[in-house]
Structure formats: C-alpha cells, structure tokens
Amino acid sequence: IVRALATGPKLLLLDEPAAGMNPQETKDLMSFIQKIQDDFNLTILLIEHDMKVVMGICRRILVMDYGVTIAEGNPVEIQNNPEVIKAYLGVDANYA
C-alpha cells in the first residue's frame, strides 16, 4: 500500500487486503485504510469478502452476485436490501 501511495494516486485499488489476517490485524488495517483515505484524499476501490471490513470502512458499496450488480448504497441501505439478503443468506432466511 505504501509503495502505491508513493506515486500520488487519485484511486487506490485494494483486492482482499484483509485476507489471512487475524482480528486484531484486520482492525488495524481498517484504521490504516481510513487514515490514508482521509490523509491523501483518495478514492479507494475495495474488493473484500469480510463484511465487517466492508461495513466498517466503506461509505458507498456496490454488491455483485455472479457478476451482476444487485445493489448500491451506503452500509445501512445495503444491510437492509432484500436482494442482498437473498443473495447472501438465501431465499428462506428469517430476518426478524
């Protein structure tokens, strides 16, 4: 990440940055990503399957299912989106 920042980018792509990290490392990474986003005024494109990371640091989220965009919005909108719930939990999931 630091090497990429040295080039002065406007956009930073992070592909599964939390993969293989323990919970403390993931928490530290989340803080680091938020700090560099603010300090460098960067747009960060994050590809991540760890929903705690996604919901904890993303301002806008685009959700794809089998290559098709099914939802876009802020974390609260995504958490409450029926298409996202269906895709990740299944049709028969009880959410109440």
At 92 the pLDDT is 60
User: What whole-number distance in Å separates Cα of residue 2 and Cα of residue 5?
Assistant: 5
Specify whether the CB–CB gap between 25 and 52 falls below 8 A.
no
> Among residues 62, 52, 56, which one has the least CA distance to residue 84?
62
What DSSP state is assigned to residue 67? T
Q: Does 79 share its domain with 33?
A: no
Q: What is the pLDDT of residues 5-64, one digit of tens each?
A: 999 999 999 999 999 999 999 999 999 999 999 999 999 999 999 999 999 999 999 999
Q: Does 67 share its domain with 28?
A: no
Specify whether the CB–CB gap between 54 and 76 falls below 8 A.
no
At 14 the pLDDT is 96
- What is the pTM for the complete model shown? 0.79
Q: Does 78 share its domain with 53?
A: no
Block residue for tokens 């994050």: 46
Q: Does 45 share its domain with 64?
A: no
User: What whole-number distance in Å separates Cα of residue 8 and Cα of residue 22?
Assistant: 29
